[in-house]
Amino acid sequence: MIVGAGVIGLYLAWQLGLKGHKVFVYEKRSKEGSRLKACSTLVSERIKDSIPLPDGCIENVISGCRIHFRGKTIQLNFKPHHLVLSKPMLLDKLLELALGLGAEVFFEKDAKELPQGFDKIIGCDGALSNVRKNLGLPNPAFRLGVQFFQEAQDSSSFVETWPTRNGFCWRIPKGGETEWGILESPETALSQLKQFLKDRDIPFGGDSKFPAALVPSGLVLPKKDGEATLCGDAAGLAKPWSGGGLIWGLKAANILLKDFPDFGSYRDETESFFYPKILKGRVSNFLVHTVGRAVPFILPGEIDYDNDFPVL
């Protein structure tokens, strides 16, 4: 049983079907609603190693990121490049693959309690996971991602970011439109983004035009090998420096698939792989923001950079 029909949940349903397992998936939203969750779907080309992307899914190719500190702009050249994907097309492809191998997917089926009658349960039900809650596990730390979409065609190849108090604002060229956004503390994210847009004379309307989602930060897994575990956002798998979680979620999913049904081995391998990266990411993120604000001139102007697993 998989709870959550997002990218990670449907990927696991497909792959477990390939291994001959009978899979049931519960998703609390409608099929259409599940595709509306706020997400930039900006992900490195490594996604192609796990998922066959359908024709037309790639909306733009991003070669790097420009970080605008107050006194200097740093250019990160992404190695590998990143892709702006159509989330509905990506989810539809994964749903097709999962259904083709016999998975049964139930939309508008809310698993407020741990489902009964299943050998194993995998919680892929997002940042506010009910599975995590029912396992008695603590929440990871949260930041809030808030988006704003401008009707301005832009197929340029660089993302732009501006450091904020506890995160950053961004601009993503998505081909047919431009996405602005912020990753910040939940209390101030929306107000900071509105001020950021106002400073740039970008018109915006009411709060309904600002889709938002909590972004977890910090790995959370059960301490014992039992009937249930977590993966993706439910396990807190998002990069501390960017909030992006798809590649990290897919990496954890592939560890889980290798070890299945041994959730204890999955936990041990996932913790061993991700804990050092989370710690290093938090430290390096703090140092870069501190140096960028205080003495940006000592930073190099251009860096080749692996945004999934950087070596710093």
Has residue 195 been placed in a domain? yes
Query: What number is the average pLDDT over the span 90-109?
Result: 97
pLDDT value for 33? 81
Query: What number is the average pLDDT over the span 5-33?
Result: 96
> Average model confidence (pLDDT) for the chain?
94
pLDDT value for 312? 61
Has residue 118 been placed in a domain? yes
Has residue 311 been placed in a domain? no
Q: What CATH number is associated with residue 50?
A: 3.50.50.60
Query: What number is the average pLDDT over the span 92-105?
Result: 97
pLDDT-derived band at 237 (thresholds 50, 70, 90) equals very high
Share of the chain above pLDDT 90, in %: 84
Choose the weakest-confidence range: 22-26, 32-36, 84-88, 146-150. Answer: 32-36
Domain residues for the domain of 264 are 2-305
Has residue 310 been placed in a domain? no
Query: What number is the average pLDDT over the span 139-145?
Result: 96
Has residue 116 been placed in a domain? yes
Query: What number is the average pLDDT over the span 54-83?
Result: 96
pLDDT of 100 over the 80 cut: yes
Has residue 312 been placed in a domain? no
Has residue 300 been placed in a domain? yes
pLDDT value for 297? 86
Query: What number is the average pLDDT over the span 244-272?
Result: 97
Per the model's pLDDT, the better-predicted residue between 38 and 223 turns out to be 223
Share of the chain above pLDDT 70, in %: 100
Q: What is the pLDDT of residues 279-311, one digit of tens each?
A: 988 888 888 888 888 898 888 999 999 999 998
Q: What is the pLDDT of residues 181-229, one digit of tens each?
A: 999 999 999 999 999 999 999 999 887 789 999 999 899 999 999 999 9
Task: Give the DSSP per-residue string, the chain.
Answer: -EE--SHHHHHHHHHHHHTT---EEEESS-HHHHT-S----EEEGGGGGT--PPTT-EEEEEEEEEEE-SS-EEEEEEEEEEEEE-HHHHHHHHHHHHHHTT-EEEET---SSPPSS-S-EEE---TT-HHHHHTTPPP-EEEEEEEEEES--B--SEEEEEE-SSSEEEEEE-BSSEEEEEEE-TTTHHHHHHHHHHHTT-----GGG--EEEEEES----SS--SEEE-GGGGT---TTT---HHHHHHHHHHHHHHTT-HHHHHHHHHHHHHHHHHHHHHHHHHHHHHHHH-GGGS-SEEEE-SSS---
pLDDT-derived band at 48 (thresholds 50, 70, 90) equals very high
Tally the domains of the chain. 1
Has residue 156 been placed in a domain? yes
